[in-house]
Structure 1
Amino acid sequence: MEASPQSPVETPTIAFHHRVIVASVLAVFTIIGLFGNTLVIVSVITTKKLRTVTNILVINLAFADNLTCFVLPFQITGLLSQTGRYPIPEIICAIVAGVGFTSVCCSASTLVAIGFVRWYVITRSIRGHQGLNTPRNIAIVVLIIWMVSLALANIPPVLGVGTLCYFKYYGICSLTDTNPLVFVNFTFQGAVIITALILTLTFYGLILRHVLQHNKQFRDKFAADKASDSSSAETQQNKASSSTSQDFRPPMIKAINQKEIEITKNVFTVVCLFMICFVAQSVNFLIPGVSLFALYGYMILMANSVVNPIIYGLKHPTFQEAFKRILCRRRRPLERVSN
């Protein structure tokens, strides 16, 4: 706990070299995250193939991550301060902390929405999911996500459940332990994120079950049709027509499902990495007191805002093409100027 202003004992802080390490890593995250997430947003806007309903949520996720990366320099400023005070006006620190909590909550909520949309698209027919899975409806979902995230992250401190300001021990803008209800707020924030991740995993579990059942039904139907055709020798013309239908329709159905499954795999990878990045910090949400591990846990959590564009660049062919096109287009004018 921090000492009171009247206490002659100096308030303890984490060793400065640890804070320098974390600040250096966050600086790298800032550069990569702002560049990568902006690239994702521009790719979806400028590439027709990427203008899908699901990618509206992907843009929202990238925007939330960009917001996190944007406030990281303000956290670095606090980490490198050796005066025991935030070098910028305290109100800025409170805003930085509020934005950080809001963006993390928004990221988790967006992953829930993406999981739901993936489940709805894969488990419903084309006619069935168009009624819900439309740009207008998804835009409403995005608006609700931001409203809920703002409320969950900022209303408790406004009501006195935790205080958003400079946490001298860690050197970052966060909830400080000078407020006796700070543990309640940390527990609440952790419970919200964990609930969101559980819901997300539930949707992907339902997707997996549907895919396995669908593949089994597909194989059974194909085997039954093949047996029926081989036993029927009355009309070779009907048999040829049936064979042509089998050669065309099943692969088409399989191709559509395979595309949706590949998209779902990529998004599920994003979910898994978010869970890995959050697990260290979630432990600190539930354990009272301060520790060095909490600072590095915060650093790992911030890594989540950087890895998503890397996943799209490595695993999503359409995003790969869009990234190359945008980067090459920006490089050509530079080459002409140099020539």
Structure 2
Amino acid sequence: CERTPPDGDQHLVAVKRYPFSWTVLLAVLMGVLIVTTVLGNALVMLAFLVDSSLRTQNNFFLLNLAISDFLVGALCIPLYVPYVLTGRWSFGKSVCKLWLVLDYLLCTSSVFNIVLISYDRFISVTRAVSYRAQQSNSRHAVLKMSMVWLLAFLLYGPAIITWEYIAGTSILPEGECFAEFFYNWYFLITASTLEFFTPFISVTFFNVSIYLNIQKRTKARLDLIQEAPSQTVTEEPKVAPEPSRMDSLKCWKVSHKTSRPGEPDGQVMDKSMEDEMLERARRVKRASLNGSTLAVLGKSRNTRRSFNESSSTPSLEKRMKMVSQGMAQRFRLSRDKKVAKSLAVIVCVFGLCWAPYTLLMIIRAACRGQCIPEIWYETSFWLLWINSAVNPILYPLCHYSFKRAFKKILCPQKLKIKPHSKFQPCWK
């Protein structure tokens, strides 16, 4: 969120010519942006305190993004509002340099956090097994988060602090606040490559890779579904329970010496089983009507039930296993599709917010601020801060678990946070 150097006295005059109604309107819009940025990102941070299930490795990257965007709304924008409305920096040169360091640091860290989140989603989709194995290692997550802040500071911080001492002079006039390197085209094109072009290409690559991976897995799943019915048809005769059913029917016929019309003949029993059934039939003949017939029939039914269960169990287990695998795969594909859609929106919003400013900054530095109207540059500059206000909507609100935590915070009487379930339709 780099501050543009005003075009000298011409900028001051232009600012002072703002009608009172325009000044009030600008102040209101800036106030709305501050409140939206602060509250939105504060809600994300508060969600981590409310719902312990959010404290996973990948969600900590969202927390890191929320912290940087929160500080943009709490520190950077409020100091800029009186500057843009009055056209004069009234807080001194030391505060100006500190503000510039914070402004560049926070906005750059926001960009790098977006890249880190996209990379994390890319790994979770394309290398799911190794990704799950690293979920318990919080040291890696903390290391990545720290590297984001370190790289963001190194990109602009040392240059802001030491540029005037290295150059031997300062181009910063009294009452203004902008970076000393603002008209150095070579430095800006290098920094812009690291701050915008490389992250934008990286985020785009991760999103496209996720999309292609999901397409491949969807095709594989459809092929598996088409193969499943044929496998079921071929395996079914092997586990058909007809033999046991016929055995028990024959036992029923022998014990009662009656035949039921219309029943199939069945298969031939082996000799030992047939002898056993005949022996049971003879015992039934000799038994009195004091309940022994019911006992024999009960044994026959138990035998039939055990045969049926033993013959149908393998088929049932295979079907249950296929259903379980299908449900898990559908859940993962549904989750990954949501990830891909969200990343597509992220790429578009990130490009719309950062591309205008980056291009105009490079052009403006090349022509020393004489070829770009102030209004266009100012508009592109504010788009950077709007991105910090939009991030809480783009990222956490795409997660079911985050939305659940927000409901807990905003409407505690309507929702109680439940234990985390791996079958919830959300990003994990």
TM over 0.5: yes
**Alignment match, 2:345:** 269
Is contact 1:120–1:129 with CA below 8 Å preserved after alignment? Answer: no
Between 94-103 and 239-248, report the one with greater CA deviation: 239-248
Residues 286 and 14 of structure 1, relative CA distance in 2, 3 Å threshold: farther
Is contact 1:277–1:304 with CA below 8 Å preserved after alignment? Answer: yes
Between 129-138 and 108-117, report the one with greater CA deviation: 129-138
Do residues 122 (structure 1) and 120 (structure 2) align?
Answer: no
**Residues 277-300 of structure 1, C-alpha deviations (whole Å, 9 max, x = no match):** 112212212212242201011112
Do residues 45 (structure 1) and 44 (structure 2) align?
Answer: no
Whole-Å Cα distance in 2 between the matches of residues 220 and 196 of structure 1? 36
**Alignment match, 2:239:** 235
> For 2:178, what is the secondary structure of its paired residue?
strand
Is contact 1:33–1:66 with CA below 8 Å preserved after alignment? Answer: yes
**Alignment match, 1:72:** 77
**Alignment match, 2:37:** 33
- Of residues 214, 217, 223, the one that matches 2:217 is 214
**Alignment match, 1:98:** 101
Residues 54 and 261 of structure 1, relative CA distance in 2, 3 Å threshold: farther
TM value normalised by structure 1: 0.82
Residues 2 and 280 of structure 1, relative CA distance in 2, 3 Å threshold: closer
Whole-Å Cα distance in 2 between the matches of residues 214 and 33 of structure 1? 38
Identity between Structure 1 and Structure 2 (%)? 19
| Offset, 1:124 | 1.7
Residues 271 and 26 of structure 1, relative CA distance in 2, 3 Å threshold: farther
Residues 120 and 218 of structure 1, relative CA distance in 2, 3 Å threshold: same
Do residues 319 (structure 1) and 402 (structure 2) align?
Answer: yes
**Alignment match, 1:185:** 187
| Offset, 1:46 | 2.0
User: For the aligned residues, what is the CA RMSD?
Assistant: 3.1
Whole-Å Cα distance in 2 between the matches of residues 202 and 73 of structure 1? 35
Is contact 1:68–1:103 with CA below 8 Å preserved after alignment? Answer: yes
TM value normalised by structure 2: 0.66
| Offset, 1:316 | 3.2
Whole-Å Cα distance in 1 between the matches of residues 119 and 7 of structure 2? 47
Residues 24 and 300 of structure 1, relative CA distance in 2, 3 Å threshold: farther
Do residues 63 (structure 1) and 67 (structure 2) align?
Answer: yes
Whole-Å Cα distance in 1 between the matches of residues 49 and 158 of structure 2? 33
**Residues 185-241 of structure 1, C-alpha deviations (whole Å, 9 max, x = no match):** 332332122201211111111111111111111221222232222234332334443
> For 1:86, what is the secondary structure of its paired residue?
coil
Between 25-34 and 268-277, report the one with greater CA deviation: 268-277
Whole-Å Cα distance in 1 between the matches of residues 7 and 332 of structure 2? 62
